[in-house]
């Protein structure tokens, strides 16, 4: 047990915003930040490691965990189940005194907002909606119909921005990573002057207004 209780940071984004890359780089660069390892029913992708990227479980096992109250939040996404266990947060936050980064979708983020008042919420945005569409098309793997579905989903996901504390735009990857790390560092230090400065740049109100303004011009 350490003296310090870490802070959970929830990072969500519309599909296609580059959330995973931003999270991976932030985790590499901040030694006091741990990744929250979720449970999922989906199959591992090439290169993914069980217990590191996810706890890959069967649908029956996932149901059992839901029924036993193991999850602080869980949601269905793309016909698969995803959830953050209490244990995934307890070990880094309480045992290691580290902060923890949750890379989750917006329904789960809303549940975290209800259940974890100590959590901070960062929403990652694409530079604009045209760029999001271009990025989704560039994956080259999806059919036209799947792209349309993802765009509609991204539109819905965007509505969740209203309950997030911070907004970071992923136009230049390095800048987005620095933004996320600056927010985490200011919240960790809890120094009012730095927090004020960070809120001026990344606070949801000003940052989202700037993003909308840039899209309109």
Q: Which residues bind ligand 5GP (CB under 6 A)?
A: 38, 42, 73, 75, 77, 82-84, 103-105, 107-108
104 versus 198: smaller Cβ distance to ligand 5GP: 104
Strand order in the sheet with 166-169: 33-35, 99-103, 8-12, 120-125, 166-169
- CA nearest 101: which of 179, 156, 38, 15? 38
Q: In the complex, what is the shortest distance from the CB of residue 122 to ligand 5GP, in angstroms, rounded to a whole number? A: 13
Instruction: Considering the complex, state which of residue 82 and residue 208 has its C-beta at the smaller distance from ligand 5GP.
Output: 82
The SS3 of residue 78 is coil
Report the alpha-carbon distance of residue 45 to residue 77 in Å, rounded: 16
Nearer of residues 25 and 201 to ligand 5GP, judged by Cβ = 25
From the CB of residue 157, how many other CB atoms can be counted at a distance below 10 Å?
21
CB of 194 to ligand 5GP, least distance (A): 28
Closest separation in Å from C-beta 78 to ligand 5GP? 6
With respect to ligand 5GP, which residue has the nearer C-beta, 30 or 105?
105
């Amino acid at each position: 047990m350490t003296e310090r209780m870490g802070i959970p940071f929830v990072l969500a984004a519309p599909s296609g915003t580059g959330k995973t890359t931003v999270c991976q780089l932030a985790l590499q660069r901040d030694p006091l930040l741990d990744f929250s390892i979720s449970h999922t029913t989906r199959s591992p992708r090439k290169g993914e490691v069980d217990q590191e990227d996810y706890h890959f479980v069967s649908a029956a096992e996932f149901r059992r965990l839901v029924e036993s109250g193991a999850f602080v939040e869980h949601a269905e996404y793309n016909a698969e189940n995803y959830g953050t266990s209490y244990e995934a947060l307890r070990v880094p936050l309480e045992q290691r005194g580290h902060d923890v980064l949750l890379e989750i979708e917006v329904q789960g983020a809303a549940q975290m907002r209800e259940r974890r008042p100590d959590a901070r919420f960062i929403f990652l945005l694409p530079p604009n909606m045209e760029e999001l569409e271009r990025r989704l098309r560039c994956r080259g793997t999806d059919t036209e119909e799947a792209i349309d579905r993802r765009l509609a989903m991204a539109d819905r996901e965007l509505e969740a921005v209203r309950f997030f504390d911070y907004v970071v735009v992923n136009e230049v990857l390095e800048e987005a990573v620095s933004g996320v790390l600056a927010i985490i560092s200011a919240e960790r230090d809890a120094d009012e002057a730095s927090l004020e400065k960070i809120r001026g740049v990344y606070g949801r109100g000003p940052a989202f207004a700037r993003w909308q303004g840039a899209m309109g011009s």
